[in-house]
Amino acid sequence: MSYSASSVSAASVICKGYFTGSITTADGSALVKLGNTTVICGIKAEFAAPPIDSSNKGYIVPNVDLPPLCSSRFRPGPPGEEAQAASQFIADVIENSQMIQKEDLCIVEEKIAWVLYCDIICLDYDGNLLDACMCALLAALKNVHLPAVTVNEETGLAEVNFKEKTPLTIKKQPVATSFVLLDTVILVDPTAEEEDLATGNLTIVTDEEGKLCSVYKPGGSVITGTKLQDCISRATVRHKEVKKLMDKVIKSVQPT
């Protein structure tokens, strides 16, 4: 799925690095800026047959794109290792956190369901990619409003009522917090330079209840249990700050 520069709405609202409703051609969208890293998430909703083994569920399909536009470290062509790892990380968080019940995406069991294609594109890269991607995904999902759909019994075709739309039900609100290990020092919200110098990386995802959704550590140096617990505590505090900011932005774009 692609978006043109002309589809970015001038009526978008920004508040300390957050846009919502940025792409007018998407069903939901958000732009997030953390430090010098900027990502945009556009969500398109389409129809599909439910999975054979889960006939009462829909789909959420995340995809992270790291184009050469965002950094000279990335090359044109198929998704690289970092982009694939980020896509898989987000898919795992969606599944583990149960942020959206896939049953809510089913329109008619065994016949038709929603597919949410979540395309996350990095516009400027300066480290801390996973945090920015998760924030953009959550804000974009909160921006999605799906039209009412009924199935005509005579024709078997779906009939869409765009005048009647309902927001997605977000069950959990996972927020990622990334750290880098520099010998005995642990830094939060790292830049690309700090990530390159680090001996290890750690990303912790928590929800609004302070529960762990994911602990992602792709190799590197060992972290002690005490330091890990400290990182979890920091992630819990940061979640509250991010949620407060996101709620403020979403409230500002809601019609009065």
Report in angstroms the alpha-carbon separations of 110 from 53, 55, 97, 103, 113: 10, 5, 25, 12, 8
pLDDT, tens digit, 9 for 90 and up, residues 140-171 = 999 999 999 988 877 878 888 888 999 999 99
Residue with tokens 């005048």: 163
State the pLDDT at residue 195: 94
Domain 28-252 has CATH 3.30.230.70: yes
pLDDT, tens digit, 9 for 90 and up, residues 113-138 = 999 999 999 999 999 999 999 999 99
The pair of three-digit structure tokens given for residue 212, joined into one six-digit string:
């762990």
Give residue limits of the domains in the chain: 28-252
Residues 114 and 109: their CA atoms lie apart, in Å, by: 11
Strand stretches in 153-237, DSSP E: 158-167, 175-182, 185-188, 200-206, 212-216
Residues of the chain with pLDDT under 50: 1-16, 256
Instruction: Give the N- to C-terminal CA distance of the chain in Å, as an integer.
Output: 32
Residues 253 and 89: their CA atoms lie apart, in Å, by: 29
State the pLDDT at residue 21: 67
Could you give phi then psi for residue 194, rounded to 5 degrees?
-65, -35
The pair of three-digit structure tokens given for residue 112, joined into one six-digit string:
């038709």
The pair of three-digit structure tokens given for residue 158, joined into one six-digit string:
């779906």
Which of helix, strand or coil describes residue 184? coil
* Contact (Cβ atoms closer than 8 angstroms) between residue 80 and residue 86: no
Give the max Cα distance, the chain: 69
State the pLDDT at residue 1: 43
The pair of three-digit structure tokens given for residue 102, joined into one six-digit string:
């896939």
Residue 137, Cα to own-chain centre: how many angstroms? 2
* Contact (Cβ atoms closer than 8 angstroms) between residue 29 and residue 23: yes
| Mode of pairing for the β-strands spanning 112-124 and 59-65 | parallel
**DSSP secondary structure code for residue 149 in this structure:** E
Residues 195 and 173: their CA atoms lie apart, in Å, by: 26
The pair of three-digit structure tokens given for residue 227, joined into one six-digit string:
């330091």
The closest alpha carbon to 211, from 183, 246, 236, 234, belongs to 236
